[in-house]
Amino acid sequence: MFDIGFSEFLLIGVVALIVIGPERLPKVARTIGHLVGRMQRYVADVKSDINREMELDELRKMRDTMQEAASGIESSLKEELHKTEGELDAAAASLAADPVVTDGSVAGAGVSPAPEAAPAIEEQQAPAREVGKP
């Protein structure tokens, strides 16, 4: 703490012995010892409080950084979701504009029915021809 050597302590002790006297010197030394102990505990408490506050400040900064990163990710995910939703809506609208015939072909596409469906179509048309005959 202070740069005091052994010779300085010896000089202070001799002056204190002369000024205070040999009867009261032990009591004064004990009181000074208690005061120095209290001061050291107080300084240690202040240091620990400062360290604790510094750690809390670092944790707050880290929390803020993590919240900013999370909100950035959330906004990018929402943007991508809206983009995908728009693409799906456009695809659904394009499918709704082209009606589907029951045999699976698209109406107006100029596609002939499947070959296996041809006999069924002929059977449906045959009774219509017979009804028209006398």
pLDDT at site 95: 87
What percent of the chain shows pLDDT beyond 90? 48
pLDDT (tens digit per residue) in 7-16: 898 898 889 8
Nearest to 16 by CA among 8, 37, 6: 8
What pTM does this model have?
0.45
Phi and psi angles of residue 100, each rounded to the nearest 5 degrees, phi first = -105, 130
Confidence of residue 37 (pLDDT cuts 50, 70, 90): very high
Answer for the pair 107, 97: CB distance below 8 angstroms, yes or no. Answer: no
pLDDT (tens digit per residue) in 71-100: 999 999 999 999 999 999 999 888 888 765
Indicate if the pLDDT at residue 108 is higher than 90.
no
Q: What is the mean pLDDT of residues 47-62?
A: 96
Indicate if the pLDDT at residue 115 is higher than 90.
no
pLDDT at site 75: 94
Strand partners of residue 100: 106
Indicate if the pLDDT at residue 133 is higher than 70.
no
* Rounded CA separation 50/34 (Å): 24
What 3-state DSSP class applies to 106?
strand
